[in-house]
Amino acid sequence: MKKRTLLRKSWLMGVAILSACSGAPVQLGAEVDVKYDSTRPRQISAEGCGFQLLLLIPITANSRAVRAYQALKVQAGEDYIADIKITERWTYAVVGTVYCTTMEATAYPKSKT
Protein backbone atom coordinates (compact mmCIF):
# COMPACT_ATOMS: atom_id res chain seq x y z
CA MET A 1 0.00 0.00 0.00
CA LYS A 2 2.84 2.40 0.82
CA LYS A 3 4.44 1.80 -2.57
CA ARG A 4 1.25 2.88 -4.33
CA THR A 5 1.05 6.10 -2.28
CA LEU A 6 4.73 6.84 -2.93
CA LEU A 7 4.27 6.18 -6.65
CA ARG A 8 1.24 8.49 -6.80
CA LYS A 9 3.11 11.29 -4.99
CA SER A 10 6.12 10.86 -7.29
CA TRP A 11 3.88 11.03 -10.36
CA LEU A 12 2.16 14.19 -9.10
CA MET A 13 5.53 15.79 -8.34
CA GLY A 14 6.73 14.99 -11.87
CA VAL A 15 3.62 16.53 -13.43
CA ALA A 16 4.04 19.66 -11.29
CA ILE A 17 7.67 20.05 -12.33
CA LEU A 18 6.93 19.58 -16.02
CA SER A 19 4.01 22.02 -15.93
CA ALA A 20 6.38 24.73 -14.71
CA CYS A 21 8.10 24.60 -18.10
CA SER A 22 5.21 26.04 -20.08
CA GLY A 23 4.74 29.68 -20.96
CA ALA A 24 1.68 31.69 -21.90
CA PRO A 25 1.12 32.22 -25.64
CA VAL A 26 1.02 35.75 -27.07
CA GLN A 27 -1.53 36.50 -29.79
CA LEU A 28 0.13 38.84 -32.30
CA GLY A 29 -2.59 38.80 -34.97
CA ALA A 30 -3.40 41.99 -36.82
CA GLU A 31 -6.58 43.95 -36.18
CA VAL A 32 -9.09 43.64 -39.02
CA ASP A 33 -10.01 46.62 -41.24
CA VAL A 34 -8.04 49.25 -39.31
CA LYS A 35 -7.42 52.53 -41.08
CA TYR A 36 -4.19 54.20 -40.01
CA ASP A 37 -1.94 57.08 -41.08
CA SER A 38 1.14 55.45 -42.64
CA THR A 39 2.91 58.83 -43.00
CA ARG A 40 3.54 59.22 -39.25
CA PRO A 41 5.13 56.02 -37.95
CA ARG A 42 7.03 55.85 -34.67
CA GLN A 43 9.24 53.12 -33.26
CA ILE A 44 8.35 51.54 -29.93
CA SER A 45 10.02 48.78 -27.93
CA ALA A 46 9.51 46.86 -24.71
CA GLU A 47 11.27 44.11 -22.81
CA GLY A 48 10.25 41.40 -20.36
CA CYS A 49 12.80 39.36 -18.39
CA GLY A 50 12.75 36.41 -16.03
CA PHE A 51 15.14 34.23 -14.08
CA GLN A 52 15.52 30.47 -14.00
CA LEU A 53 17.09 29.37 -10.73
CA LEU A 54 19.43 26.38 -11.04
CA LEU A 55 17.98 25.72 -14.52
CA LEU A 56 14.91 24.20 -12.82
CA ILE A 57 12.83 26.85 -11.08
CA PRO A 58 11.39 29.57 -13.34
CA ILE A 59 10.86 32.95 -11.67
CA THR A 60 8.71 35.10 -14.00
CA ALA A 61 10.53 33.53 -16.96
CA ASN A 62 7.47 31.93 -18.54
CA SER A 63 5.43 35.14 -18.72
CA ARG A 64 8.14 37.41 -20.14
CA ALA A 65 6.72 37.51 -23.71
CA VAL A 66 3.25 38.38 -22.41
CA ARG A 67 4.65 41.15 -20.21
CA ALA A 68 6.74 42.55 -23.09
CA TYR A 69 3.71 42.63 -25.41
CA GLN A 70 1.53 44.29 -22.77
CA ALA A 71 4.20 46.97 -22.26
CA LEU A 72 4.37 47.44 -26.04
CA LYS A 73 0.60 48.00 -26.17
CA VAL A 74 0.82 50.53 -23.33
CA GLN A 75 3.47 52.48 -25.28
CA ALA A 76 1.35 52.40 -28.44
CA GLY A 77 -1.77 53.63 -26.67
CA GLU A 78 -4.56 53.85 -29.27
CA ASP A 79 -2.11 53.52 -32.18
CA TYR A 80 -2.01 50.59 -34.59
CA ILE A 81 0.91 48.20 -33.93
CA ALA A 82 2.64 46.65 -36.94
CA ASP A 83 5.96 45.04 -37.94
CA ILE A 84 6.67 43.39 -34.60
CA LYS A 85 10.19 41.99 -34.24
CA ILE A 86 10.95 39.63 -31.35
CA THR A 87 14.45 39.07 -29.98
CA GLU A 88 15.39 36.56 -27.28
CA ARG A 89 18.60 36.72 -25.25
CA TRP A 90 19.94 35.01 -22.18
CA THR A 91 22.72 35.70 -19.70
CA TYR A 92 24.39 33.19 -17.40
CA ALA A 93 24.18 34.25 -13.74
CA VAL A 94 26.13 31.80 -11.51
CA VAL A 95 23.05 30.22 -9.83
CA GLY A 96 20.80 30.39 -12.87
CA THR A 97 20.06 32.11 -16.14
CA VAL A 98 18.37 35.41 -16.99
CA TYR A 99 16.10 35.21 -20.06
CA CYS A 100 14.84 38.37 -21.80
CA THR A 101 12.36 38.92 -24.61
CA THR A 102 12.54 42.22 -26.49
CA MET A 103 9.78 43.36 -28.84
CA GLU A 104 10.26 46.21 -31.29
CA ALA A 105 7.42 47.50 -33.45
CA THR A 106 6.13 50.39 -35.50
CA ALA A 107 3.10 52.29 -34.19
CA TYR A 108 0.85 54.19 -36.59
CA PRO A 109 -1.85 56.67 -35.52
CA LYS A 110 -5.32 55.38 -36.33
CA SER A 111 -7.31 57.49 -38.82
CA LYS A 112 -10.41 59.24 -37.56
CA THR A 113 -12.38 58.44 -40.73
Q: Which residues contact 64 (CB under 8 A, 6 or more apart)?
A: 23, 48, 49, 50, 99, 100, 101
Q: What would the pLDDT profile of 29-54 be if each residue is shown by its tens digit?
A: 767 788 888 899 999 999 999 999 99
Q: Which residues contact 13 (CB under 8 A, 6 or more apart)?
A: none
Q: Is the model's pLDDT at 1 over the cut of 60?
A: no
Domain ranges of the chain: 37-113
Enter the CATH code of domain 37-113: 3.30.1660
Q: What would the pLDDT profile of 58-97 be if each residue is shown by its tens digit?
A: 899 999 999 999 999 999 999 999 999 999 999 999 999 9
